[in-house]
Amino acid sequence: MAKDKSLKRKKLGSNASEVHAEEMMDAEVTKKRKKKMVVEEAPVQIPQETITADDKKQKKDKKHKKKQVTEQTKISDPPSRPERTHDPEEEEDLSPEEKRVLERKMKKILKKEEKKRLKAEGETVKKTEASGPTAPQQALDYLTCWAEKRTEWKFQKTRQTWLLQHMFDSEKIPDEKFLVLLEYLEGLRGGARDTTVNKALALVEESGQTPEDVLVQQRAHRAREVIQLLS
């Protein structure tokens, strides 16, 4: 009996030691597993520079400036590029900002052209006003003043010369004015009188050579009247 009890105690003791040893082994294994899991789950620490709030602001400002420069480059044309014509098909592909820029350019061009046109018209009007009546009109006015306003009339050699040079031309001196001119010629003296008579004789002679020329015959008719008056 005593032997059986001692055997049981030894057996129990050995079993307890084995159980204790197994528990220790399990605890060790569990500890290693947890340690491994902790190592695996821990994030890898990568050394990096610390980014402050000022750095972020500077980067943001740089990006914003870069974006603005890019947009301005797209919108604005280089100075060497010629002016683009207004093409509706190209306008469809333009952004609203580009359309506004194009419209402003077209308005400037139209404004410049309008100024040039007005300036040219103004200069034409000024020249016309400055020139005043033409030489034929001035000569005829001179003759009219002699006939109707003798007290206001003053001799002008330039006007008389023009009348004597064109007196045989019915287009430049109408018939009613020619009758007044004949009265004016009565007072003609000196070399002007002789020159006028010689010119009239030459026209009469020419009319005999070209009887079919109507203009020559018309001039010859006036020439005969001048010869009859001054001879």
DSSP string, 190-228: HHHHHHHHHHHHHHHHHHHH-TT-HHHHHHHHHHHHHHH
Amino acid at 195: T
Q: Which residue has the tokens 């197994």?
A: 22
Question: Residue 55: is its pLDDT beyond 50?
Answer: yes
The stretch 130-151 carries a mean pLDDT of: 88
- What pLDDT sits at residue 221? 94
For residues 133 and 174, the answer to whether their CB atoms sit within 8 Å is no
How far apart are alpha carbons 172 and 219 in whole angstroms? Answer: 12
- What pLDDT sits at residue 3? 47
Question: Residue 195: is its pLDDT beyond 70?
Answer: yes
Write the CB contacts of 147 (distance below 8 Å, at least 6 apart in sequence).
Answer: 180, 183, 184
In a domain, 110, yes or no: no
In a domain, 94, yes or no: no
Angle at alpha carbon of residue 211, lines to 228 and 208, rounded to 5°:
50
In a domain, 207, yes or no: yes
In a domain, 149, yes or no: yes
In a domain, 71, yes or no: no
In a domain, 28, yes or no: no
In a domain, 125, yes or no: no
Question: Residue 69: is its pLDDT beyond 70?
Answer: no
Most confident of 8-17, 70-79, 188-197: 188-197
Chain centroid to CA 36? 79
Domain count, the chain: 1
- Tell me the pLDDT band of 17, cut-offs 50, 70 and 90: low
Quote the domain boundaries for residue 169: 135-230
Phi, psi of 171 (to 5 degrees): -75, -35
In a domain, 175, yes or no: yes
Global pTM reads 0.45
